Structure 1
Amino acid sequence: MNWLNKLERKFGRFAIPNLTMYLLAGYVIGFGIMYLMPQIIGWITLEPALILRGQVWRLVSWVLIPPTTNLISLAFLVLLYYSLGTALERAWGTFRYNVYIFSGIIFTVIATFVLYGVLYGVYGFSVSLSSVGMISTNYITMSIFLAFAAMYPDMEILLYFILPIKMKWMAFVYAAMALYYFVMGGIATKVAVGASLLNFVIFFLSSRNLKPYTPKEKARKAKFKQQTRPHMTYANGARHRCAVCGRTELDDPTLEFRFCSKCNGNYEYCQEHLFTHEHVK
Structure 2
Amino acid sequence: MAIQIDTRVERILTRLGRRLGWLGIPHLSLILVAGQLTAYVLSQMQLISLADLMLDAVRVQQGEVWRLITFLFIPPGTNFIFMAFGWYMFCLMGDALEHEWGEFRYTVYLLVGYLATLAFGWFVVPGSASSGFLAGSVFLAFAVLFPDFQILLFFILPVKVKHLALLTWVWYGFLLLVSAWPTRLMVIASCLNYFLFFGELIVHRMRMGRRKMKFEAQVIKSRVGPDAFHRCAVCGLTERDDRNMDFRVCMECTGGKEYCQKHLSMHTHS
Give the TM-score of the pair, scaled to structure 1: 0.64
Name the amino acid aligned to 1:68. G
Write the distance in 1 (CA, Å) between the matches of 2:25 and 2:71. 19
Equivalenced residues, count: 195
Match of 1:48 among 38, 42, 57: 57
Q: Structure 1 residue 28 and structure 2 residue 22: aligned?
A: no
Q: Structure 1 residue 134 and structure 2 residue 122: aligned?
A: no
Match of 2:162 among 123, 146, 168: 168
Paired residues of 1:139 and 1:193 also in contact (CA < 8 A): yes
Q: Structure 1 residue 17 and structure 2 residue 26: aligned?
A: yes
Larger-gyration structure (1/2):
2
Paired residues of 1:76 and 1:160 also in contact (CA < 8 A): no
Alignment of 1:91-240 (within 5 A): 91-113=100-122, 115-116=123-124, 129-130=125-126, 134-206=128-200
Report the secondary structure of 1:9's partner residue: helix
Write the distance in 2 (CA, Å) between the matches of 1:89 and 1:167. 18
| C-alpha RMSD over aligned residues | 2.1
Paired residues of 2:118 and 2:129 also in contact (CA < 8 A): no
Report the secondary structure of 2:188's partner residue: helix
Unaligned runs of 5+ in 1: 117-128, 211-281
Please give the per-residue CA displacement for 1:3-62, whole angstroms capped at 9, x wherever unaligned. 212221121012111111001112212222443328622221101111122211111011
Deviation at 1:207, TM superposition (A): 5.3
Match for residue 66 of structure 1? 75
Match for residue 8 of structure 1? 17
Report the secondary structure of 1:180's partner residue: helix
Deviation at 1:209, TM superposition (A): 11
Q: Provide runs of 4+ in structure 1 moved above 3 Å.
A: 206-210
Report the secondary structure of 2:69's partner residue: helix
Unaligned runs of 5+ in 2: 1-9, 205-270
Q: Structure 1 residue 79 and structure 2 residue 88: aligned?
A: yes
Deviation at 1:84, TM superposition (A): 1.0
Deviation at 1:82, TM superposition (A): 1.3
